[in-house]
């Protein structure tokens, strides 16, 4: 039998440092490792001893792409600990800033990181030579998302305006209205993005996943809801640790997360979409059906279409919130810190992000736990490779390597939520 | 001629010398606030495209690693739509400055005048302190940028209209 070793020093177009090892023997996969070698950063440890008000700003530094998600999960966890509910326009503004983050993150991944895979380009630079208008539209979308985050978050990078109980400052009616025109154009660009990505060639690959995400009684989920799955899970966020466990594996510096009862699961846009299709706007539903991805969609490669559908939704939801906006009398609700434990789980662009904090009577954090979406998808990514490769051992090696990279990029992994590459090694005999 | 000048600092301050672009920008903030558009990009080089939008002149500061001794200052200047990639490949960021500028060039969104200061670094691991040679070079780059801005302002009337949009 032909021996072969495929090695890619690093795979671009993902966030973070890691690698993949696929061992093949007698046309069978004997081992798959999604190897995260980037050192841990100990955020949970240095949250200990800090005041609860600092948690949103400290955790926002975990990720340059989805800081709002970290802030939101931290804020909801603290409010849970203190027995505080934020509603009305403040709640709506939280959804609005989350719309901005989804638009910005999804536009980046769809157009600059993922689309080149399907069209056979090495990167977005090569793709832009043939598809300049599409890339321009995507950049415009991304910019609109940034503008929403900048307005609500105080600045685009490492936003600082969100706080436990609300905001430091709320926007004026006029400031929001100024964004409406741009959001209308962004909505059109997102619709075009759905139609464009739907034309891509997709590998014939499906698995029987357990999709996990938030589900709210009336809304497509950002900040709130119960944790549900496609295989019957239906729990309150506070029950998360009764059902999900983290395991250390030797080849990864990120803990693997599994459902205690059933093992690996899938979080992110495809999971949200399959669990909450009926909560999308009519336009988003219609364009998704026209794109040929009526749920359930079990092909992870088609997550690129789903991200585009979610951008349509986020633009429409942002426009709805802006149209209904009345500045609240106060930028935050009163709260009284008390000792206790609080949990928060929100839908980051890449999937559910769980935070749990213990605080003492002075509001000092004594314990923290953070479970990021990519950590939860690690085992599912490995299983995808394990199922994907055996049927494709006869295709040219370079092509197989490319497709394996695509398998990983389907998840838009943010390996450390901060850094920069993924190595891919095949060890085949 | 009124035009927009942006000073853009690139880098991750948690990675030692990689943070020198931000150090330069922060050092110059007090002198240049209101005169130019000041932007800190952190490691998000993909946002360079948005930062360039509407600029006629962009001054970009980033750390580089070409094998030269730490603290060596590289200066690249591109005018009138030439493709600005020489010497700018490779980055600790997801996308390099060269990539972002090439993409802007393809999309015809490149400013007509670009100055890039690359400061040679040595320590790029998480938690590394900035090396003394790089810190000194940052001071020299600040001085050179002030001179650049002075020359540019001699050709302008008033501050850039969006100077207050600084992040």
CB A139 within 8 A of CB A127: no
Closest Cβ–Cβ partner in A135, A146, A420 for B50: A146
Contact list in A for residue B165 (CB cut-off 8 A) is none
| Beta carbons of A158 and B42 less than 8 Å apart | yes
pLDDT value at position A428? 46
- Burial degree of B14 (CB within 10 A; 0-12, 13-18, 19+): middle
DSSP 8-state assignment for residue A15: B
List phi, psi (to 5°) of A416.
Answer: -120, 10
**Lookup: tokens for A124:** 């977005």
Angle at B20 between CA B18 and CA B25, to 5 degrees: 135
Question: For residue A314, what is the enclosing H or E element?
Answer: helix A303-323
pLDDT value at position A424? 39
Across the range B48-70, mean pLDDT stands at 89
Whether chain A has a CB inside 8 Å of the CB on B42: the answer is: yes
- Burial letters for A331-349: b for 16+ Cβ neighbours within 10 Å, e otherwise? bbbebebeeeebbbbbbbb
Q: Which long-range contacts (CB under 8 A, 24 or more apart) does A243-247 make?
A: A244/A354, A244/A371, A244/A376, A246/A371, A246/A375
CB B86 within 8 A of CB B141: no
pLDDT value at position B161? 40
| Beta carbons of B167 and A150 less than 8 Å apart | yes
- Burial degree of A133 (CB within 10 A; 0-12, 13-18, 19+): exposed
- Interface list for B 127-166 with A (CB within 8 A): none
Q: A113 CA to chain B: closest CA distance, Å?
A: 10
pLDDT value at position A311? 98
Chains A–B, number of C-beta pairs less than 8 Å apart: 57
DSSP 8-state assignment for residue A332: B
Q: Has residue B84 got a pLDDT over 60?
A: no
pLDDT value at position B80? 74
CB B114 within 8 A of CB B57: yes
Across the range A401-408, mean pLDDT stands at 87
- The domain limits of chain A are 4-40+390-428, 43-377
Nearest C-alpha neighbor of A280 from the set A218, A332, A223, A224: A218
Higher pLDDT, A16 or A421: A16
pLDDT value at position A179? 95
Contact list in B for residue A65 (CB cut-off 8 A) is 44
Q: What is the dihedral of CA A43, A49, A52, A58, to 10 degrees?
A: -30
DSSP string, A224-287: --EEEETTS-EE-GGGHHHHEEEE--TT-SS-EEEETTTB--B-SHHHHHHHHGGGS-HHHHHH
CATH for A43-377 is 1.10.645.10
List phi, psi (to 5°) of A338.
Answer: -145, 160
Q: Is A215 helix (H, G, I), strand (E, B) or coil?
A: strand
| Beta carbons of B53 and A143 less than 8 Å apart | yes
C-alpha distances out from residue B12 to A296, A348, B16, B151, Å: 41, 22, 8, 30
Across the range B64-77, mean pLDDT stands at 90
The label of the residue with tokens 């990675």 reads: B15
For residue range A245-267, what is the model confidence (pLDDT) as tens digits?
988 877 777 778 899 999 999 99
List phi, psi (to 5°) of B137.
Answer: -60, -35
Q: Which of A31-40, A65-74, A165-174 has the lowest mean pLDDT?
A: A31-40
- How many secondary structure helices (H) and strands (E) does chain B include? 4, 5
The label of the residue with tokens 């990720």 reads: A63
| Confidence bin at A17 (pLDDT 50/70/90) | low
Whether chain A has a CB inside 8 Å of the CB on B44: the answer is: yes
Q: Has residue B167 got a pLDDT over 80?
A: no
pLDDT value at position A7? 42
Rounded Cα distance between A22 and A32, Å, is 5
Percent of chain B scoring above 90 in pLDDT: 44
- What is the CATH number for B104? 3.40.50.1450
**Lookup: tokens for A17:** 């440092």
Q: Has residue A136 got a pLDDT over 60?
A: yes
**Lookup: tokens for A66:** 């989805």
| Confidence bin at A87 (pLDDT 50/70/90) | very high
| Beta carbons of B167 and A156 less than 8 Å apart | yes
CB B7 within 8 A of CB B25: yes
Closest Cβ–Cβ partner in A135, A150, A156 for B107: A135
Q: A11 CA to chain B: closest CA distance, Å?
A: 10
CB B91 within 8 A of CB B97: yes
CB A370 within 8 A of CB A355: yes
Q: Has residue A23 got a pLDDT over 90?
A: no
Closest Cβ–Cβ partner in A150, A158, A420 for B92: A420
Quote the number of domains for chain B: 1
pLDDT value at position A393? 85
Q: Has residue A35 got a pLDDT over 80?
A: no
Whether chain A has a CB inside 8 Å of the CB on B94: the answer is: yes
pLDDT value at position A99? 98
Distance, C-alpha A185 to centroid of its chain: 24
Q: Has residue A281 got a pLDDT over 90?
A: yes
| Beta carbons of B94 and A132 less than 8 Å apart | no
DSSP 8-state assignment for residue B129: P
- Burial degree of A291 (CB within 10 A; 0-12, 13-18, 19+): buried
| Confidence bin at A363 (pLDDT 50/70/90) | very high
- CB atoms inside a 10 Å sphere around CB B153: 14
For residue range A58-79, what is the model confidence (pLDDT) as tens digits?
999 887 788 999 999 999 999 9
Across the range A330-334, mean pLDDT stands at 95
| Beta carbons of B42 and A132 less than 8 Å apart | no
Q: Has residue B130 got a pLDDT over 70?
A: yes
| Beta carbons of A64 and B44 less than 8 Å apart | yes
**Which of B2-11, B30-39, B133-142 has maximum average pLDDT?**
B133-142
Higher pLDDT, A74 or A418: A74
Domain region containing B96: 5-165
Q: Is A347 helix (H, G, I), strand (E, B) or coil?
A: strand
Whether chain A has a CB inside 8 Å of the CB on B106: the answer is: yes
Whether chain A has a CB inside 8 Å of the CB on B121: the answer is: no
Q: Where are the alpha helices (DSSP H) in chain B?
A: 20-32, 48-52, 97-106, 132-154
pLDDT value at position A154? 93
pLDDT value at position A11? 44
pLDDT value at position A37? 63
Q: Which of A210-219, A306-315, A357-366, A382-391 has the lowest mean pLDDT?
A: A382-391
């Amino acid at each position: 039998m032909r021996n072969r070793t495929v090695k890619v020093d690093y795979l671009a177009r993902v966030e973070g440092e890691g690698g993949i090892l696929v061992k093949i023997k007698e046309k069978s996969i004997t081992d798959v490792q999604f190897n995260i070698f980037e050192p841990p950063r100990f955020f949970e440890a240095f949250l200990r001893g800090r005041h609860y008000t600092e948690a949103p700003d400290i955790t926002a530094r975990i990720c340059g792409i989805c800081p709002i998600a970290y802030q939101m999960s931290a804020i909801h966890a603290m409010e849970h600990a203190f027995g505080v509910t934020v509603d009305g326009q403040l709640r709506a503004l939280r959804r609005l800033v989350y719309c901005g983050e989804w638009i910005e993150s999804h536009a980046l991944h769809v157009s600059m990181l993922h689309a080149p895979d399907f069209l056979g380009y090495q990167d977005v630079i090569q793709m832009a030579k043939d598809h300049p208008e599409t890339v321009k539209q995507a950049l415009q979308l991304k910019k609109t998302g940034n503008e929403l985050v900048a307005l609500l978050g105080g600045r685009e990078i490492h936003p600082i305006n969100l706080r436990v109980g609300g905001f430091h400052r709320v926007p004026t009616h006029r400031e929001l209205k100024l964004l409406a025109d741009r959001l209308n154009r962004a909505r059109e660009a997102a619709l075009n993005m759905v139609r464009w990505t739907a034309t891509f060639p997709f590998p014939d690959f499906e698995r029987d996943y357990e999709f996990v995400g938030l589900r709210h009684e009336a809304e497509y989920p950002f900040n709130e809801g119960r944790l549900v799955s496609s295989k019957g899970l239906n729990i309150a966020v506070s029950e998360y640790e009764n059902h999900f466990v983290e395991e250390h594996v030797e080849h990864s510096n990120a803990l693997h997360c599994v459902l205690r009862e059933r093992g690996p699961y899938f979080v992110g846009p495809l999971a949200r979409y399959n669990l909450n299709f009926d909560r999308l706007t009519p336009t988003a539903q219609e364009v998704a059906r026209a794109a040929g991805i009526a749920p359930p969609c079990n092909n992870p490669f088609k997550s690129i279409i789903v991200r585009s559908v979610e951008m349509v939704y986020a633009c429409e939801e942002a426009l709805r919130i802006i149209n209904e906006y009345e500045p609240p009398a106060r930028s935050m609700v009163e709260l009284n810190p008390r000792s206790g434990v609080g949990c928060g789980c929100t839908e980051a662009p890449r999937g559910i992000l769980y935070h749990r904090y213990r605080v003492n009577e002075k509001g000092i954090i004594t314990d923290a736990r953070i479970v990021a979406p990519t950590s939860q998808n690690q085992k599912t990514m490995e299983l995808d490779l394990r199922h994907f490769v055996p049927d494709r051992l006869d295709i040219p090696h370079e092509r197989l390597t490319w497709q394996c990279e695509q398998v990983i990029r389907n998840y838009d992994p943010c390996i450390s939520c901060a850094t920069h590459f993924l190595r891919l090694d095949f060890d085949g005999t | 001629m009124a035009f927009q000048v942006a000073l853009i600092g690139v880098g991750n301050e948690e990675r030692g010398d990689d943070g020198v672009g931000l150090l330069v920008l922060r050092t110059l903030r007090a002198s240049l606030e209101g005169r130019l558009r000041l932007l800190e990009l952190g490691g998000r080089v993909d946002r360079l495209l948005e930062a360039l939008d509407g600029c006629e002149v962009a001054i970009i500061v980033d750390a580089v690693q070409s094998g030269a001794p730490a603290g060596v200052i590289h200066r690249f200047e591109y005018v009138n739509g030439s493709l600005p990639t020489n010497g700018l490949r490779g980055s600790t960021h997801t996308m390099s400055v060269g990539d972002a500028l090439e993409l802007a060039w393809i999309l015809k969104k490149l400013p007509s005048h670009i100055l890039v200061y690359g400061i040679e670094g040595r320590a790029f691991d998480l938690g590394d302190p900035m090396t003394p040679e790089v810190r000194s070079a940052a001071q020299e780059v600040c001085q050179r940028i002030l001179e650049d801005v002075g020359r540019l302002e001699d050709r302008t009337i008033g501050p850039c209209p969006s100077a207050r949009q600084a992040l």
